[in-house]
Structure 1
């Protein structure tokens, strides 16, 4: 069975739903299908049982964590603002990544030291051009929020990036004005 030996211990999970959120439950192998409320059309996922003494670290140790990964992964195309029609590279990201996570991955891809100097600009799906203003630093919570255009998720997931060479410190866009009083 799928490359497993007949005596291989396996774990079973029922995928109950995938959208809008992943719902997956462990199935007790000692129970019957009826007792587990399994019927025709139900999706049963299986994996090798993790060995307790194994020191290997795995990225997704069980079916629910793997399904969460699949549910939230998003391939994003990145283009330079100087060449807005040409893809520079693509990254597989999570819809749950923050702005900082995204620019850190972009900096790593570009071989840059300081992700704080990268500015991202969203793609306008109507004009096929960059939006006029860059995404505000910490102006959105997650990658999914960056992809929304007029309350719809942009079908072509693309960002334009610009590396600010002359920026030596991070500019806080949400900083409060400072008023100095002399007495």
Structure 2
């Protein structure tokens, strides 16, 4: 399975949430896609279907493929604490997500591209793996040769100051520090991680 590159509005309508950002199509048609429109005949979803849908939403939100997703869940389950919360914390600690959260890129897809194209360093070393796990204390920075890129400059210009408490941002140097793993209450994504845990527990 390759990474999804199809219509984002269709996916947003499937979950009835703007998981890729503001979407006019979702505002106009706030019901799942399909040839029958907002039909009342859509059957009641089973427990498994609801759990699977939540898993798919998380995968699309963070842009993670199945193997990476399941491997990350295994790591979360092996850690002390609540598995669902551990899982979201690990997703948040991915390099592409950190680049997005810092405001260096406007979307996670754009963040993945910046990382893959070698525009980002971690603790001074070039890292081009979007799934790279960031640890508390790590410094994520725009590569010196890339600091004049228009895409990065535009994204940083629209960044909100101190948006996330677990990240520190140096606007002059275009670098940020991953202070610590975020608490569940601080993660804004509307994901019911308990349903994902239940699905993997079957």
How high is the TM-score relative to the length of structure 2?
A: 0.25
Report which of the two has the higher share of helix: 2
More strand by share: 1
Q: For CA contacts below 8 A with separation 6 or more, give which structure has more relative contact order.
A: 2
**Higher-Rg member (1/2):** 1
Under a length normalisation based on structure 1, what TM-score does the superposition of the two structures give?
Answer: 0.26
